[in-house]
Amino acid sequence: MVTTLDDTKRMMIGTKLADIKALQELVIANEQRFISEINDQDIRHRFQEMLKDDQKNMGVLETVIVQYGIKSEPKQTIRQFVDKLQELMGGSELSIFEKVFQHELLKHQLVMSGVVVHKAAQKVGADVELAITPLNTVNFENRAHQEQLKGVLEVLGVRELTGQEADQGLWARVQDAVAALSGVAGSVITQNSDKSDLNIQDVIRLDHNKTNTLFTEILGSNDPQKIQEYFGQLYKDLSVHAEAEERVVYPAVRPFYGQNDTQELYDEQAEMKRKLEEIKALSPASSEFKDKVRQLMEAVGDHIRQEESTMFAAIRNNLSSDQSEQLATQFKAAKSQLQDQMSASKK
């Protein structure tokens, strides 16, 4: 039974996300290199701005991967590609124009990978779409970067070929691309560009929303295979979320949320885990399966309501926004570690 909890399509999207992360790391390394190697003030400034976006987007990408819930490694070929390109970028075979040219191709690869993941998510399920939504902002920014890089390439290319400055106006395209970018309406993650960190309430709420979507998917489907796939994801998400709350959140809120209320949350989660195991042992084709899922949904719903009302209020009243963001970072790290353990224990 346990083996079928994993779905191949979901695993493949996980691999693609890991590929994107590996490419994003290379993008950041390239930009750091360009900033130290390129003397032109304007171009250097352009790369500094891009680097800021890309570092922020790396954080978004990491959040998306944890939110998605299936950790994976990049494909071997992507790793080889990244190594080879890194070597070329560090060497002297390529001119600076050629290096930036490769960088632009890399951005294109990132954009297309992001688009494909987005399209694939629409086929796999609403919960997947929800988890990867912030990736849209990353894609949009990468597209804008591509436009800027085209302008940079024209300047560098004309210089390399003729030793002269390109006609004025080439920078106009760069400026247009920058303007287009600043008009973007961000997602929940990047709504406020200064506040790239989510607080603990935001992160917990993201998980709760995904859980609700999965319940809806399970109850709305009549295909046992689909039901099994959705339940597999729900099982993993709920187990990891609950465990991370017990490790990071509940101990932190206990002093001000109170011994009794906090203990209640622990008890409810113990009951929830029992229900999850019970359902896992059932056939998704049986009528009992959905009845038990419905019971679980009600119990989880009550639990979520308590967390989002009284526990969130206690957090707001007792933690500074810095403390709450720190807690979010710890919570995400705990989830990430638990996901790793989960996938390792199945191998």
For 312-325, b where at least 16 C-beta lie within 10 A, e where not — what string? Answer: bebbeeebeeeebb
Closest approach of Fe ion to the CB of residue 141, in Å: 30
Should residue 237 be labelled a site residue for Fe ion when binding is judged by CB under 5 A? no
Closest approach of Fe ion to the CB of residue 293, in Å: 18
Q: Which stretch binds Fe ion (CB under 5 A): 21-29, 133-141, 154-162, 242-250?
A: 242-250
| Both tokens assigned to 282 | 């059932």
Beta carbon nearer to Fe ion, 212 or 323: 212
Q: Which stretch binds Fe ion (CB under 5 A): 112-120, 129-137, 282-290, 301-309?
A: 301-309
Alpha-carbon separation of residue 340 from 4, 17, 72 (angstroms): 18, 15, 9
Beta carbon nearer to Fe ion, 129 or 246: 246
The C-alpha atoms of residue 344 and residue 68 are separated, in whole angstroms, by 17
The amino acid at residue 28 is I
| Both tokens assigned to 216 | 């809806």
Closest approach of Fe ion to the CB of residue 314, in Å: 14
Which residues inside 302-331 make contact with Fe ion, applying CB under 5 A?
307
Closest approach of Fe ion to the CB of residue 235, in Å: 15
Alpha-carbon separation of residue 118 from 48, 133, 143, 243, 336 (angstroms): 28, 8, 15, 29, 22
Beta carbon nearer to Fe ion, 242 or 293: 242
| Both tokens assigned to 60 | 């978004």
Q: Which stretch binds Fe ion (CB under 5 A): 75-83, 116-124, 220-228, 300-308?
A: 300-308
Q: Which stretch binds Fe ion (CB under 5 A): 12-20, 74-82, 238-246, 288-296?
A: 238-246
Beta carbon nearer to Fe ion, 245 or 325: 245
**Binding string, residues 73-112; x marks residues near Fe ion by CB under 5 A:** ----------------------------------------
| Both tokens assigned to 185 | 């309406």
Should residue 217 be labelled a site residue for Fe ion when binding is judged by CB under 5 A? no
Closest approach of Fe ion to the CB of residue 289, in Å: 23
Helices assigned H by DSSP within 163-223: 170-182, 200-220
The amino acid at residue 186 is G
The C-alpha atoms of residue 208 and residue 301 are separated, in whole angstroms, by 9
Name the nearest CA neighbour of 7 among 335, 233, 340, 237: 233
Q: Which stretch binds Fe ion (CB under 5 A): 45-53, 105-113, 299-307, 321-329?
A: 299-307
Beta carbon nearer to Fe ion, 17 or 300: 300
Should residue 245 be labelled a site residue for Fe ion when binding is judged by CB under 5 A? yes
Beta carbon nearer to Fe ion, 210 or 290: 210
Quote the DSSP letter at residue 92.
S
The C-alpha atoms of residue 119 and residue 110 are separated, in whole angstroms, by 14
Quote the DSSP letter at residue 248.
I
Quote the DSSP letter at residue 166.
P
Beta carbon nearer to Fe ion, 265 or 293: 265
Which positions touch Fe ion (CB under 5 A)? 245, 307
